């Protein structure tokens, strides 16, 4: 909830090979079923009075970090 662009959302539903997820140097992540993740994050950001930082955290900072285009679709909470 800091707004620091070095921190961004990544779920453990990413398409890593099982060998990369289940090893001593595996990809980081906390498994949260996809449909629930954004709702839970919205609740946390709202509780911390920083809901205005949610879009950057879940959509923009990761894209910037990996030099990817922004999503064009929008999600209505």
**Active-site residue flag, 12:** yes
DSSP states along 16-68? --HHHHSSTTPPP-----HHHHHHHHHHHHHHTT-GGGHHIIIIIHHHHHTT-
12, 25, 49, 67: which is the annotated catalytic residue? 12
The residues that are catalytic are 12
């Amino acid at each position: 909830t800091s707004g620091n662009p070095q921190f961004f959302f990544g779920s453990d539903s990413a398409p890593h090979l099982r060998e990369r997820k289940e090893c001593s140097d595996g990809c980081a992540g906390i498994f949260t079923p996809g449909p629930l993740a954004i709702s839970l994050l919205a609740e946390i950001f709202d509780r911390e009075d920083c809901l205005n930082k949610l879009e950057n955290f879940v959509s923009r900072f990761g894209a910037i970090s990996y030099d990817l285009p922004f999503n064009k679709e929008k999600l209505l909470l």
